[in-house]
């Protein structure tokens, strides 16, 4: 997994939407630094402040006071798990969402996070390489089967796990079960002989996917559920920023 990509997509959409004064909030650890690098690779406007929080932090009173004083028109955050859940709840409760648009990578605005936060996430934008409303046969079947089995919408993590299982199954079938032939198995995996729920993609020379990234917005669907809706494509056939540095060809 190349961590910059989802953040690059957010940076691109914030740039394209014309926001001029942005605050970034991430935990102070390597993943947080990756988020900042990816976002700033495509967002070229003013970054009023990069706010680095403690990993695992759950109280953001001090950071929210700082954000209020900076008066940003947009805020990009990458706060995985409980950190993001608490941050969004406190951000909205403090009234900051009235003047500042929230943006996040898909993992910080996915179905499991929405379930924990609820309607406070409505109106928030995020980037993802998959969405449950993507219009392809494989995805429709996956989403329908998942809802039938678990009585909820699948998350981005679930879609990736499903794709990984399909890819491994296809590769094992290709080598007729001879998984001890590592070279043949690797070649079969690289060939990607399966239909992905995310649509068409391919593996680059460094084995990271070249794929589309989409803009999602959180709102209510026809059934009244707070969930993501695909709004458009941010990147088409997007490769990671470091592929040229990889020695694999």
Instruction: Give the start-to-end residue ranges of the domains of the chain.
Output: 4-129+210-236, 137-200
Percentages (nearest 5) of helix, strand, coil residues in the chain: 45, 20, 35
Q: Is 165 exposed, middle or buried (0-12, 13-18, 19+ CB in 10 A)?
A: exposed
* pLDDT band, residue 234 (cuts 50/70/90): very high
What's the pLDDT tens digit per position in 181-232? Answer: 999 999 999 887 788 999 988 899 999 999 999 999 999 999 999 999 999 9
* pLDDT band, residue 249 (cuts 50/70/90): confident
Q: Does 1 score more than 80 pLDDT? A: no
What percent of the chain has a predicted confidence (pLDDT) above 70? 100
pLDDT of residue 11: 99
Contact 228, 217 (CB under 8 A): yes
Fold designation for 4-129+210-236: Rossmann fold (3.40.50)
C-alpha closest to that of 60 among 26, 105, 10: 26
């Amino acid at each position: 997994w190349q961590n910059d990509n989802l953040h690059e997509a957010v940076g691109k959409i914030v740039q394209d939407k014309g926001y001029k004064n942005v605050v970034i909030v991430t935990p102070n650890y390597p993943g947080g630094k990756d988020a900042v690098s990816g976002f700033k690779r495509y967002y070229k406007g003013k970054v009023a402040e990069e706010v680095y929080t403690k990993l695992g932090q759950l109280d953001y009173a001090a950071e929210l006071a700082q954000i209020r004083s900076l008066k940003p028109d947009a805020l990009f955050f990458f706060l995985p798990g409980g950190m993001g859940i608490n941050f969004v709840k406190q951000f909205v409760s403090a009234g900051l969402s009235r003047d500042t648009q929230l943006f996040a990578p898909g993992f910080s605005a996915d179905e499991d996070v929405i379930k924990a936060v609820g309607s406070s996430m409505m109106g928030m934008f995020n980037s993802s390489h998959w969405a449950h409303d993507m219009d392809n046969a494989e995805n429709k079947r996956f989403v329908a089967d998942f809802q039938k089995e678990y009585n909820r919408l699948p998350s981005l993590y679930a879609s990736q796990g499903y794709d990984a299982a399909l890819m491994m199954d296809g590769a094992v079938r290709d080598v007729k079960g001879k998984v001890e032939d590592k070279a043949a198995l690797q070649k079969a995996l690289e060939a990607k002989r399966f239909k992905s729920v995310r649509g068409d993609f391919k593996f680059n020379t460094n084995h990271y996917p070249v794929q589309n990234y989409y803009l999602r917005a959180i709102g209510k669907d026809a059934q009244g559920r707070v969930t993501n809706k695909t709004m458009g494509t941010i990147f088409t056939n997007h490769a990671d920023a470091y592929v040229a540095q990889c020695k694999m060809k």
